[in-house]
Structure 1
Amino acid sequence: MTSVTGAAVTKTEPGMFCLVLHSHLPWLANHGRWPVGEEWLYQSWAATYLPVTAVLRRLAAEGRTRLLTLGITPVLAAQLDDPHCLDGMHHWLGNWQIRAHEAAGMSSTSQRELGAREHRASAAALEDFETRWRHGGSAVLRELIGAETIELLGGPLAHPFQPLLDERMRAFSLTEGLADARARWNHTPSGIWAPECGFTPGMEAGYAAAGVSHFMVDGPALRGDTSAGRPVWDSDVVAFGRDLEVSYRVWSPKTGYPGHAAYRDFHTYDHDTGLKPARVTGRTVPSEKKAPYDPALAAAAIDKHVDDFVETVRRRLRSESERVGRDALVVAAFDTELFGHWWFEGPQWLEKVLRALPEAGIEVGTLADARARGYVGEPVELQDSSWGSGKDWRVWAGDQVQDLVQLNAEVVQTALDTIDKSRDSNPEHPELRNRVHDQMLRETLMTVSSDWAFMVSKDSAAGYARDRAHKHAHALREIADAVASGRDDVARRLADGWNAADGLFPALDARRLPGPLTETAAFAGSV
């Protein structure tokens, strides 16, 4: 039975449906504003994080629990709590309202209507932000965790592509990421969203040592059989696979819902105000010929796509359950930013779907629920995989990003060698907190963020991405050089300066970096 607005709704369909959302942006604070930089954060915050959490609060107030599995990466969580970002967001929302006023005062009817809609939206966003978010996002998310509205997925610090990362740094990044979640939410996630769903054999042992019980992979990694979670190799760690048939129903470049003619067009701007006035109209229609946005048309499309998705899930549950001879699991997974930022109507669709699925007799739960209720099959010998192009590593290790692959390897080795030598110089003394070592590891992890290779491979602000990787690499190198040459005062000054520039992950502690000869033991004892 599922509680829906106080009424009991009977499960009539086989199996279980899980919705998984992955929330992530690279560290953007103080690294440019437009066209790439903090604007990306503030747009996503206003269009996705505010409305999606509001949807979840409304559903929680009706007594609904375990609605979805929500991944929040440590680097995004840090920005949602960062004082600079909070001030910047408040200013951004105020500027949005000013732009709405400007549109409302223009001569054309369509611009006035646009201005009125945007004024209402910006006023609601400001009230929500000032009431709930002004002192950070952790309290907002903690409320949802405490109410069991969501299952929280964690992840490693700074979102590295783990299969290409040195095992010691991989272990450190993961355990620090879980510790960061504990510090923010008084909750250590048992599941994670592996960055880019990247996997290579052996990672399951690291997950088990860190206390991770389950993680996400893409459907092809499980050879397309996503009807149950699968223990990985000889571990008890379970991999859940994204069902592509259901997921692509929503987010497909050719046929996904957001491309419907009635929905608001992401790419078309009113250049006087920076607002978005048009609907998609047609996939090949140029921006200057797109029709004005009509909320009534969009609302009708939302209802149509809610019905279509519920029916898609129903058919998939039935067909997969019949195929495997038992109740099947269906997992749909998306970037959270799809809902609102990329697809304006996404939060409205999400709220209606989360109501409609149980009302249609479909059991909805989290990944932890699926594991607890026995949606786990036979072990799988999981191979190298990701959810990127080709479902392999080409996006993060292909020819076009070999310079970044080499840069990452060099930076990681420099950091490890420098810290190891510094530790070896004082073997008789207890290791004290070393802020220089801490900053070296911060800069290293920022360098190896998977976002930079992704942006280069997809030719999306590739110059910005390379600049960011090299900037953090430069910071690491100059601190490490000062340490190696015995200029301790210079190393401290440099570390303090680079830390002031970004100021993230203050609890990161280099003493928890596994030693070169005791990786497994150090890893297991560091959580």
Structure 2
Amino acid sequence: MNRFLSIVLHAHVPWVRHPESPRCLEEDWLFEAISESYLPLLDVLHRLRDEEVPYRVTMNFSPVLLEMLQDPMLRDRAQAYLERALALAQRESMRESAPETHRRLAAWYAARFSSLRDMYVDRWQRDLVRAFRELQETRHLEITATAATHAVLPLLLQVPETVRAQISVGAETYEKTFGTPARGFWLPECAYVHALSGLIRETGADWTIVEAHAFGPERSGAEPNAGCGPRGLAFFRRDLASSRQAWDADTGYPSDPRYREFYRDVGLEAPPEALSDYLEGSPVRRFTGLKMYRITGGEGDKEWYDPGAARAAALEHAKDFVDARADQLRTLAAEVEPGEPPPILVCACDVELFGRWWFEGPQFFEEMLRLLSKRDDMILTTPTEYLLRCGGSAALPSVEPMPSSWSEEGYFASWLSDENTWIYPELHRRATQLLRVVQACEEDGDTLEEPLGSHRRRCVSQMIRELQLAQSGDWPMLMRNETSRDYATRRAKEHLSHFDTLWKAYASASEDSQSTLERIEKQNPIFPDLKPSRHHPDRQPSLLD
């Protein structure tokens, strides 16, 4: 009996485009993900392809991330980030007051950042989306769709039309970017309730992934890892054992003392004079990507980082991971009755785990794919290919997934706390206002399908953008963190304020309102092909059937 393994990676960074600030600290979230995760993984995936090592991996990119990766200003700033890091590493490698081991590691980082810079600028011409799209075209990747702004969809269902808009904008952005409809749909935060099934199916997607307990509180041996749910949508159950091994910072592979320590960064520890060029006069210290110590153990003194020892650990852990999945699948295969679909494990996690949070993750990932290519006891596949082998979702056992998410609490409490619940009435009120605007336009004979230059059309389109950016699940999550609460609160309130400003500008074609519209459009130029008519309430059947 065939046994299947599917690796699913989710890539997302919040919308952190700040044209008003040349060195916005939060934009570094994007640049760190590019330098530590996306570029190293692209290097791995293209190298394996060129060496004809067979693999099939599933990925998705949030539409806001796709927009940022293609934004000219952010591309300029990403290149500048890599070049600043390279220059800092070169200076640190020659700083006489630094220990010899520090200088040696700085030289190692200089070589690394030089390679990353060449990869980004010369090899990929700063177009990482194209680099990933090429891997889909050669059938090494299956890239899937997800919601527009990483919204936690179950929490927006008080105004169902806004959930449909999140899903449809996500699907349309995917098709525009990759040239074909997506077969799968990633639920942000794996947040699911029954009402979402039909909306996902409307996009043409065949499957999605839910957290393990959506199929039941504990695995008894009888629950499937894939099933056919409402509207014929296939559901894949995220495997917890593989997640804990690869993701858990306390007990999983990333906790190994040989790996790089995340928090000990040159930008937080070097003498101020050594950082003056890098910080460009700013008194605010920041991560630089130059981290000289290994985890070591506990919170005490740290020992120097050893790249060779860390690589050896990554190779060991890759073998352990592959062997553990083979054991799991062997056990599952023994439970399969004649005529039932073959066993599958779906290992799903954030792309940023590999590199940004676990520096050696890309080395682990490469070795894992190499080892899997040599196994004959399991087949690396994608959910779409698994369904094709099974004969479609109808061949799977029936399931009724329960409300769930992959957050720490397992449901929606992470986005419903004292720090963040204020946002939902504000979001619902503006979503309702938007429906009224769209309906009023059409009652006036304005279908909102006229040329993009129309003032009213532009106002409504930008209102949708601002509402969807305010709906991002990142803001309520970050509001729970003391260090990021102020930024997240400010961002959410800013998008809500923009919506209100545009609401007023919509009714006026004055010079001031035109100027206001242009300013907000330039600040958040996301989703240029929005279709406002999708928000018309008369076109939305009940989503709660």
**TM-score higher than 0.5:** yes
Q: Which residue of 1 aligns with 2:155?
A: 164
Write the distance in 1 (CA, Å) between the matches of 2:179 and 2:123.
18
Write the distance in 1 (CA, Å) between the matches of 2:335 and 2:409.
26
User: Please, which of 195, 200, 212 is the counterpart of residue 219 of structure 1?
Assistant: 212
User: Please, which of 496, 509, 527 is the counterpart of residue 505 of structure 1?
Assistant: 527
Write the distance in 1 (CA, Å) between the matches of 2:88 and 2:130.
30
The answer (yes or no) to whether the contact 1:198–1:386 under 8 Å persists in 2 is yes
* Secondary structure at 2:58 match in 1: strand
Q: TM-score, normalized by length of structure 2?
A: 0.88
Identity, in percent, stands at 25
Question: Any stretches of 5+ residues in structure 1 without a counterpart?
Answer: 1-12, 523-527
Q: Which residue of 1 aligns with 2:79?
A: 90
Write the distance in 1 (CA, Å) between the matches of 2:425 and 2:138.
45
Write the distance in 1 (CA, Å) between the matches of 2:213 and 2:296.
34
The answer (yes or no) to whether the contact 1:74–1:155 under 8 Å persists in 2 is yes
1:422 Cα offset (Å): 3.0
Work out the number of aligned pairs and report it: 504
User: Please, which of 380, 384, 391 is the counterpart of residue 368 of structure 1?
Assistant: 384
Q: TM-score, normalized by length of structure 1?
A: 0.91
Cα deviation 1:240-282 (Å, max 9, x = unaligned): 1110012111111321111110000111112226420000000
The answer (yes or no) to whether the contact 2:9–2:348 under 8 Å persists in 1 is yes
Report matched runs for 1:298-447 at 5 Å. 298-325=310-337, 327-361=342-376, 362-374=378-390, 377-426=396-445, 433=452, 434-447=457-470
From the superposition, tell whether residues 498 and 193 of structure 1 become closer, same or farther in structure 2 (CA, over 3 Å): same
User: Please, which of 446, 471, 474 is the counterpart of residue 497 of structure 2?
Assistant: 474
**Bigger mean CA deviation after superposition, 143-152 or 106-115:** 106-115
The answer (yes or no) to whether the contact 1:218–1:242 under 8 Å persists in 2 is yes
Write the distance in 2 (CA, Å) between the matches of 1:505 and 1:446.
11
1:135 Cα offset (Å): 4.4
Q: Which residue of 1 aligns with 2:58?
A: 69
From the superposition, tell whether residues 76 and 112 of structure 1 become closer, same or farther in structure 2 (CA, over 3 Å): same
1:227 Cα offset (Å): 4.3
1:28 Cα offset (Å): 0.6
User: Please, which of 202, 222, 225 is the counterpart of residue 209 of structure 1?
Assistant: 202
**Bigger mean CA deviation after superposition, 20-29 or 108-117:** 108-117
1:389 Cα offset (Å): 2.2
Amino acid at match of 1:236: G
1:33 Cα offset (Å): 7.4
The answer (yes or no) to whether the contact 1:82–1:136 under 8 Å persists in 2 is no
The answer (yes or no) to whether the contact 1:68–1:366 under 8 Å persists in 2 is yes
* Secondary structure at 2:102 match in 1: helix
* Secondary structure at 1:418 match in 2: helix
1:399 Cα offset (Å): 3.8
* Secondary structure at 2:437 match in 1: helix
User: Please, which of 229, 233, 243 is the counterpart of residue 232 of structure 1?
Assistant: 229
Amino acid at match of 2:495: H
From the superposition, tell whether residues 66 and 294 of structure 1 become closer, same or farther in structure 2 (CA, over 3 Å): closer
Write the distance in 1 (CA, Å) between the matches of 2:17 and 2:448.
38
User: Please, which of 252, 258, 266 is the counterpart of residue 262 of structure 1?
Assistant: 258
The answer (yes or no) to whether the contact 2:185–2:200 under 8 Å persists in 1 is no
Cα deviation 1:419-471 (Å, max 9, x = unaligned): 32233233699755411111010000000101001112344511111110000
Amino acid at match of 2:362: P
* Secondary structure at 2:168 match in 1: helix
The answer (yes or no) to whether the contact 2:18–2:24 under 8 Å persists in 1 is no
1:230 Cα offset (Å): 1.4
1:303 Cα offset (Å): 1.9
1:180 Cα offset (Å): 1.2
Write the distance in 2 (CA, Å) between the matches of 1:276 and 1:489.
52
Write the distance in 1 (CA, Å) between the matches of 2:163 and 2:68.
22
Write the distance in 1 (CA, Å) between the matches of 2:383 and 2:79.
34
From the superposition, tell whether residues 360 and 394 of structure 1 become closer, same or farther in structure 2 (CA, over 3 Å): same
Write the distance in 1 (CA, Å) between the matches of 2:183 and 2:319.
33
Q: Which residue of 1 aligns with 2:117?
A: 126
Q: Which residue of 2 aligns with 1:43?
A: 32
Question: Any stretches of 5+ residues in structure 2 without a counterpart?
Answer: 276-287
- Find out whether 1:462 has 2:485 as its counterpart: yes
Q: Which residue of 2 aligns with 1:6?
A: none
Amino acid at match of 2:14: P
The answer (yes or no) to whether the contact 1:103–1:114 under 8 Å persists in 2 is no
Report matched runs for 1:94-109 at 5 Å. 94-107=83-96, 108-109=99-100
Q: Which residue of 1 aligns with 2:240?
A: 244
Cα deviation 1:99-132 (Å, max 9, x = unaligned): 1111110232112111111111011101101123
The answer (yes or no) to whether the contact 1:227–1:320 under 8 Å persists in 2 is no
Amino acid at match of 1:243: D
1:77 Cα offset (Å): 0.7
Write the distance in 2 (CA, Å) between the matches of 1:428 and 1:16.
48
Cα deviation 1:34-92 (Å, max 9, x = unaligned): 78411111011000000101111111123345521011111101111100110001101
The answer (yes or no) to whether the contact 1:86–1:134 under 8 Å persists in 2 is no
1:170 Cα offset (Å): 1.4
What is the root-mean-square deviation of aligned Cα atoms in Å?
Answer: 2.2
- Find out whether 1:493 has 2:484 as its counterpart: no
1:359 Cα offset (Å): 1.5
Write the distance in 2 (CA, Å) between the matches of 1:427 and 1:27.
31
1:500 Cα offset (Å): 0.4
* Secondary structure at 2:346 match in 1: strand
The answer (yes or no) to whether the contact 1:132–1:140 under 8 Å persists in 2 is no
